[in-house]
Amino acid sequence: MILVPISTDAPIYHRPIGTVSMIVANILVFLATASDLETAIDQYGLHHGVGFTPVEWITSNFIHGGFIHLIGNMIFLWGFGLIVEGKVGWLIFSAIYLLIGVLECLLEQAIFYESTGLSFGASAIIFGLMTISLIWAPVNEITVFYWLFFRFVGVFDISVIMFACLNLMISFGIMFLLFLAEMPMNSEVLHLMGAGLGGIIGFVYLKTKLVDCEGWDVLSVMTGNTPSSEPYLSATYQADRRRRKNMTTAERERPLETNSKVTRTKASPARFDRFLEEKKATAAMAELERIRHRKPEWSPTTEQLLILARGLRKASRMRDSVTIYIEFLNQKPDHSIACLELAEIFVFLQERPSGAKRLLDKCNLNALSKQQEKRHAQALKHAQRMIDDGIIEIDFQQ
């Protein structure tokens, strides 16, 4: 069974310069040593039982035992390097990459000080990057290529936390089985050492606020304090804030909830009001469209429009919700909370950061609660970051 990550939907705020550089460096070293790998491994690998050899703490991380070993590691490096470097940039990423390698080699020589043996390769570093990805972006997804039994081939999407935990459990399982069989420990021990060091580095960066995970780090996810865990977005859309699915999810519409009784009877403002009271936003929207078809001059009150807009949002009918919010704000342009709610849809679900920013700039912060102020700051920060990333929006009608 082969499982390798090939891409991610995690926000990428920095080009993968460091990731590509490390991949190129590993490939160049392999090409330079391929003619005599045995000699290169013996010369540049990490030796146990010879004391501390700082030069090998660096060189051993760039030596691979064969083409398959190299390619497997580089694909994993690409998958997790994108996530880590995407949040901190190439310089810090490169420093983290080398730091994991150096610390793991130092720890390895300390543990196996009286043993003999040899290790090499970037696997420990990659496990460290995988653990950092788990901490910084657990619910983002990675696209994984699979090859089962040399027959079934394809790709699937899986969350970072699920994929990382699967790999960690496999390593723990192999190590445990070897322990029960009283066999010597293998490379899985080194992988877990790298994962442990990556976990420490990831948490240090998170707790000291040296990395911005936008409220989607593993601690926020576990405590339910993610930005979209608040009631202004439905549970369905909490998982869909990630960029790759925002546009398609926001445009996906559910069929109108109509029934034969509603279809046969005449459109009625009283029925529209009753649907609102019963919190049947989709039915209320259908009734509103029927009323306007028969009586174009009729319009709900501003209070009814706001109730309807919020109900449609909770029902995940975002396109209709946006239409009603805009109609409401045309009548009450200074309603700060409505501006905030519509801006959140724009920035988190429809990739319309400029429109969201204009709405957020209109908000009177004194009219917002402390919780709403936090939402305002989060949406404004996300919108500005998307603008800085060059996201171009279309069809803005506000």
pLDDT tens digits, one per residue of 332-363: 999 999 999 999 998 888 788 888 899 999 99
Residue 308's contacts (CB-CB under 8 Å, 6 or more residues apart) are: 276, 281, 284, 285, 288, 300, 324
Of 65 and 8, the structure prediction assigns the larger pLDDT to 65
Q: What is the pLDDT of residues 259-275, one digit of tens each?
A: 444 444 567 888 899 88
pTM above 0.75, yes or no: no
Which phi-psi region, left, alpha or beta, contains residue 83 (left: φ > 0; alpha: ψ -120 to 50)?
Answer: alpha
Residue 194 binned pLDDT confidence (cut-offs 50, 70, 90): very high
Strand order in the sheet with 141-148: 2-8, 141-148, 152-159
Architecture in CATH for domain 227-388: Alpha Horseshoe (1.25)
What would the two tokens of residue 332 be?
Answer: 């009450």
Percent of the chain with pLDDT over 90: 49
Question: How many Å apart are CA 310 and CA 321, to the nearest integer?
Answer: 7
Query: How far, CA to CA in Å, does 199 sit from each of 100, 132, 136?
Result: 10, 6, 10
Percent of the chain with pLDDT over 70: 86
The HSE-up count of residue 276 (CA atoms within 13 Å, CB side) is 19
Phi, psi of 352 (to 5 degrees): -125, 70
In the chain, helix, strand, coil percent, each to 5? 65, 5, 25
Domain ranges across the chain: 2-223, 227-388
Q: What is the pLDDT of residues 133-177, one digit of tens each?
A: 999 999 888 888 878 766 778 888 889 999 999 989 988 888 888
**What's the pLDDT score for residue 186?**
67
**Using only C-alpha atoms, what is the Rg of the chain?**
27
What would the two tokens of residue 241 be?
Answer: 């804030």
Which CATH number is associated with domain 2-223? 1.20.1540.10
Q: What is the pLDDT of residues 39-48, one digit of tens each?
A: 999 999 999 9
Q: What is the pLDDT of residues 244-301, one digit of tens each?
A: 455 444 444 444 444 444 444 567 888 899 889 998 999 899 989 888 888 888 889 9
Instruction: Let me know: does 232 contact 226? Beta carbons within 8 Å.
Output: no
Q: What is the pLDDT of residues 209-238, one digit of tens each?
A: 899 887 889 998 888 877 654 443 434 444
Average pLDDT value over all residues in the chain: 84
What DSSP designation does 14 have? S
Question: How many Å apart are CA 193 and CA 99, to the nearest integer?
Answer: 13
